[in-house]
Structure 1
Amino acid sequence: MQAKIAMIVPYFGKWPEWMDLYLYSCSKNPQVDFLFFTDCLMPATVYPNTLFTTLSFETYCKHVSRVLHVDFRPTQAYKLCDLKVFYGLIHAEDLRGYDYWAFGDNDLIFGNLNIITNIRNLKKYDLLTTHSYHIAGHFTVIRKESKFTKLCLKIPNWQSLLLNTKNYAIDEGIWSDMVYPEMRLVRRLYRYVFKPIFRLHYFKYLALINRLFCNRFTRRSFVEYYTTPNPTLGQYWEYDFDKNKVYRYDGLELPYLHFLFFKKNIYSNSKCYWNPGFYQLPIDWQQQREKNVYVSVDSIVMKEKM
């Protein structure tokens, strides 16, 4: 029997312009329920696996305070990113009946998530993430009945980190180091041995180390799926509506496309990004089911299948 997965998505303010595309891609992965906690207007289209709980930002923060026994009162909703690793505790009641919980971002297009969340992987691992070098904040899956659900409570001074208005990227930083503490040694081995002596590319080295050690002898899966590209002009990523697949510019199938660097962001100085409106499903997409969406940094266009 396929394990039941719930992805927790608190979001307050205003839906991003790509929300209809995001929700549609969620709907094509029925093995995952997407649980939204929000004060945004209900989307025009709600799918069987996109479930919405309406509440105010203040009410949500009071719930967090009650569960974690802290006075959680952030000034901006972005601070909620530091709660990702606490979702398993904060939403314990909502997770009844689920085997796994997940956290992630919504600036992405899901393809076939079964690439990650297939039966074999879920039986073998308690934690699955889509980077090879640290926890991926944009998509990580955790077995509910595992040590990783309560590992957040072992973060040094976690209460102070949550009470501070600064965002610490706890998921990809402190918590990631706790999930994969050997990574410090892995980095040193690369710096002093594998890079100067064997001239091995860092990602190839990580793939080798993780396959031989981390992913083989532990309950953790750190695999690089190349879901967050920094694209250049002329490269196209394909989202196939019918087959629910995402393809990289060179044909590699991805479980999802995280388009962080396709839009204006604080992490890149690139002037290449999508224009407004290019994130959206075409208005007549339901009549164009035989067409695919091709996305690049300079445009999003419809092209007929050959």
Structure 2
Amino acid sequence: MKNNKCIFIVPYFGKLPNTFPLFLKSCEENPEFNWLILTDDTSEYNYPSNVKVIKKNFSEFKKDIQKHFDFKICLDSYQKLCDYKPVYGLLLEKLIARYEFWGYCDIDVIFGRISDFLTEDILSKNDKFFQMGHCTVFRNTHENNRLFMRKYKGALEYKKSFTTNKVTTFDEVYGDSIDIDDLFAFYSKKIYKRNVSFDIQPGVLGFQNANYDYNEKKYLYELHYWNKLCVWDNGQVKRIFVENNEIKTLNYMYVHLQDRKINWSVKCLDTDQWQIIPEFIKPIDLGKITPTKLKLMLKFNIDFNTLDYFCLRSLAKIKHLVVK
């Protein structure tokens, strides 16, 4: 795959999350893909060659978006920015002209090997890939980049979304609201819908995968999740577990940390294998892991400060207390 195949556009304003260096390392391990970060964070980071940065503040970015519309847009918070993600292809059309595909993603993710999931065959057959706001990809065409502005059953859904400060999830499939996926389907565009992410459920101590059921319009939560260990292994995101006294593996395109406040060891930047456990990321030597050792790790490898925090928070809800 050529290194100008796909670019992810990621505006982020305010202080970048503490796991950002791990995000960058996972990007570096995907040289066929590129990222464009627009941010006002002036902190020093070791940006790999496939990640470019444009310094821009939130007010400037809002003005850039406003120029494309003849009505006053509502964009008064960082949270509302998610509704405008489908606009990025049009907004930065000249900058991304050489790419066949573009997308948007969150930065509270750690990527695995993207090309294992977005293969040449899959890319050649579809116009839109994935349905969640934390990672979506489009074929970069004049029509696709403007499709968000077309009518859906007679209504301009984008205008409804862009004229309210309420977050409408226009960028992803969720509930009954009309979104960019509905528009692509309405105009007979081919959509690749397979979920390839390990999307961690927020507010739960363990790493529970949350898959959205698009037919039922609700999340389906993984039942047996304490018996799996999430790892980053030489550029691949995996969950490993023991079955019939053998170590089994589940592969993902990325793990979505869902804004968790996670500490991590700086040694991860110089190693190729990490264990990603609730609230901590640190190096691991997977070559030394046996089924017996993995069972012990899964039983005891938990950050007890985090456990105390979750227990106190649960107690506060029960007793209607405020825990500072």
Specify the TM-score bucket, using the shorter chain as the normaliser: 0.7 to 0.9
For 2:46 and 2:280, locate their aligned partners in 1 and report how far apart those are by CA, in whole Å. 25
Q: Is 1:245 aligned to 2:236, yes or no?
A: yes
Question: Percent identity over the alignment?
Answer: 23
Residue by residue over 1:74-121, the C-alpha shift from the partner in whole angstroms, topping out at 9 and shown as x without a partner, is 221121100111111111122121111101211110010002322222
C-alpha deviation, 1:9, in angstroms: 0.4
What does residue 219 of structure 1 align with? 190
C-alpha deviation, 1:181, in angstroms: 4.9
**Structure 1 residue corresponding to 2:275, chosen from 291, 294, 300:** 294
For 1:287 and 1:172, locate their aligned partners in 2 and report how far apart those are by CA, in whole Å. 35
What does residue 257 of structure 2 align with? 259
Q: Is 1:176 aligned to 2:181, yes or no?
A: yes
For 1:69 and 1:28, locate their aligned partners in 2 and report how far apart those are by CA, in whole Å. 41
C-alpha deviation, 1:38, in angstroms: 1.1
For 2:280 and 2:6, locate their aligned partners in 1 and report how far apart those are by CA, in whole Å. 34
Q: What SS does the aligned partner of 1:74 have?
A: coil
What does residue 266 of structure 2 align with? 283
What does residue 218 of structure 2 align with? none
- Answer yes or no: is the 8 Å Cα contact 1:235–1:296 preserved in 2: no
What does residue 192 of structure 1 align with? none
Task: Give me the CA root mean square deviation.
Answer: 2.4
Letter in 2 for 1:180: A
Q: Which runs of 5+ in 2 are unaligned?
A: 202-207, 209-224, 242-248, 288-324
Q: Is 1:16 aligned to 2:14, yes or no?
A: no
Q: What SS does the aligned partner of 2:240 have?
A: coil
Q: What SS does the aligned partner of 1:21 have?
A: helix
- Answer yes or no: is the 8 Å Cα contact 1:72–1:162 preserved in 2: yes
For 2:71 and 2:23, locate their aligned partners in 1 and report how far apart those are by CA, in whole Å. 33
For 2:132 and 2:119, locate their aligned partners in 1 and report how far apart those are by CA, in whole Å. 18
- Answer yes or no: is the 8 Å Cα contact 1:116–1:255 preserved in 2: yes
* Higher RCO, 1 vs 2 (CA within 8 Å, ≥6 residues apart): 1
Relative to 1, partners in 2 of residues 1:51 and 1:298: Cα closer, same or farther, differing over 3 Å? closer
- Answer yes or no: is the 8 Å Cα contact 2:268–2:274 preserved in 1: no
What does residue 8 of structure 2 align with? 7
Pairs aligned (count)? 248
Residue by residue over 1:8-50, the C-alpha shift from the partner in whole angstroms, topping out at 9 and shown as x without a partner, is 1011111011111111111111111101111111442011111
For 2:117 and 2:157, locate their aligned partners in 1 and report how far apart those are by CA, in whole Å. 33
More helix per residue: 1
What does residue 83 of structure 1 align with? 84
Relative to 1, partners in 2 of residues 1:13 and 1:226: Cα closer, same or farther, differing over 3 Å? closer
- Answer yes or no: is the 8 Å Cα contact 1:233–1:297 preserved in 2: no
Rg: which structure is higher?
2
C-alpha deviation, 1:229, in angstroms: 3.9
C-alpha deviation, 1:249, in angstroms: 3.5
C-alpha deviation, 1:169, in angstroms: 0.6
More strand per residue: 2
What does residue 285 of structure 2 align with? 304
What does residue 153 of structure 1 align with? 149
4+ aligned runs moved over 6 Å, structure 1: none
For 1:154 and 1:283, locate their aligned partners in 2 and report how far apart those are by CA, in whole Å. 47
What does residue 40 of structure 1 align with? 41
- Greater mean alpha carbon deviation, residues 171-180 or residues 14-23: 171-180
Residue by residue over 1:51-94, the C-alpha shift from the partner in whole angstroms, topping out at 9 and shown as x without a partner, is 00001211111110112334335221121100111111111122
TM-score, with normalisation over the residues of structure 1?
0.74
